[in-house]
Each structure stands twice: as structure tokens, then as C-alpha cells.
Structure 1
Amino acid sequence: MATHKVGGEVDALCTRCKLTLAHTILAMVGTKIARVRCNTCGGDHAYRGAPGATDRPSSSSSTTRATRTSSGSSAASKAEKIIISFEEQLAGKDVANAPRYSPKDTYRMDQVIQHPTFGTGYVSAVRGDKVDITFRGDTKTLVHGRGGAPAEKPAFSPPVRQATGPADKPQPVGDTTEPAAEEAVEPPPASED
């Protein structure tokens, strides 16, 4: 059985060309090819093996199946997953004194947190200014340790209106479309009667 890797080539059925052609491997899940790109048309699609080709070993499959089923019970007991409930993970932690979550505070591993939206959770990972907090339903990545003074908001300065004209003629610098205060129209002089 050939070992495949991302960037390698494999023959696959192209969904656009409708032919078995050479493809470049784009993604793999474990040892299985997940996504490929056709070298002929450039189309990306899920991997579909060439018709008649399988990823199963072709050696005497009946004896292999019999061996698997007889030793399957011992393999199942070794691979049995242990699931720990959320309540069991919180057991022994100080839930009563859990602080309310704030991005300004700094948290440590296994610390219990009260979040206003997600409820009670505990810190399962700390990465720089981010923490992974495991809640009953999901694990969320939140920020922490940003307790500095609130940053001042930048002052708003509206854009300066520029004179517009034909694009092929240069505009004089400092020319605006609004008349300046000194250039205001003066009233005509009063007549002497």
C-alpha cells in the first residue's frame, strides 16, 4: 500500500472532467486522502478513488476478518474510552469562590470562572493573553490580562474636502472649494446724496 502525503500525486476520479486523472493531494485526515486538485482542469474536490481501486489491503481478506473478530473483544477493551463528566471535572475545585470573568483579570490553569453568558467553567489552557475555558457545553477561547488603563479614543478629524476637476490637470495645492473668510463679498459703497 502506497503512503500518500499532502503535495503528493494520486490518481482519482475528477468530478469536472469525468475521467480518472492525476491529482495533487491538498488535505488528508489521518492516512486517508480528503481533498485533491485535478492537474488537468485545476478543480478542487473531495477525493474519489479511481473506479475499481480500494484503500483496503488485497491479501486474503477472509482470514483477516476472522482474525479481527476473534481478537476484537480484547482490542475493544483496550481502546475503551473513559468519559469524565463536567461535574466530575469540577469536583475538588473551589466553585463557591469563582471570580466573575473579566478580560482585565489574569487567570491560571484549573481556575474556576463564572461567565455571565456561558456559566461556570474552568481554565483548561493558558496561551499568552488568551485562555481556553471549558464550560458545560463547549470550550471557548477568551482574552485575559488586558488590565491596563482604557485606551483613549482617537479624536475624530473629518477628511479635508479637496477641489475636484479633470483628472488630467494638476490641482493647485491648498485650493479649496469653500471661499475663505477674507474673500467675502463686500457691500457696494454707499452713494452720497
Structure 2
Amino acid sequence: MQNTSLSVGDPIEGRCTKCRKNTSHIIITLDEEAPGKVECQTCSRQHKYRPPTVAKKAAVRKTAKPKDADRKEWESLRADMENTKAKTYSMTDTYKINALIDHPSFGLGIVQRIIGSQKVEILFEEGRKTMRCQ
């Protein structure tokens, strides 16, 4: 690998604050073998050297999918569920383990565990949800 030294007048890639993007620059001054002041080739503005920015990866949004274990557990419990015995979900109610819940968005579910004094974990067809309760 070859070690190249920079000198005044050399082209260099950098971030221009006026253009707000990575552009080609010309080195005007050097500070201890690093570019000090540069001139943008696009807008001709002189400014302190700023290294080029690296493009960020786009965020990948994951959709919640039920785990295989949750799906199998749901299918095995579904046969014993009776819609008529389900209690309509309300944040102001209290629930016990194995209680059958009818939620307006998630449908039928079974209380799996009680988390603290105001939350329960319910197994729905689309996966486990932590819900608020009294």
C-alpha cells in the first residue's frame, strides 16, 4: 500500500456545508499534514475541511410475527376456547391466569401470566401482547 502525502492544490473529497453534500475540494492550507482550509469545486466557498460523510443505511422496519412456539401453543389451545365464555377486554378489569379474553383488535386470547399489579401477558393468534389492567 502506497503512502500518499497531501499538498496544497491537491484535490480531496470533503463535506461542503453550503452545498450540504460530499463534493470535490481543493486544499488551500495544511495543518500538520492534514487539510486545514479547502475550497469547494461546486460553489467556490472556502471553509474548514470536513471529512466526507458516509451514507446511512435505511432503517428496516420489522413487522411483528408470532414465533413458531407461540403459534403452536395458540393452535393447541384454540380448540378449547368458547367465544361465549370470553370476557371483553377492558383496562379497568382484573384478570386471572388462563382467563379467556375477547379483544376488539386482536380477537380471542388467553391470559398467560400476570406482570406486576397492572399488566398481563395475553396470547393471541398473532402473538403475545402485554396489556394493561387493574
Normalising to structure 1: TM-score of the pair? 0.30
Normalising to structure 2: TM-score of the pair? 0.43
Q: Which has the larger radius of gyration?
A: 1
Greater relative contact order (Cα < 8 A, sep 6+): 2
More strand by share: 2
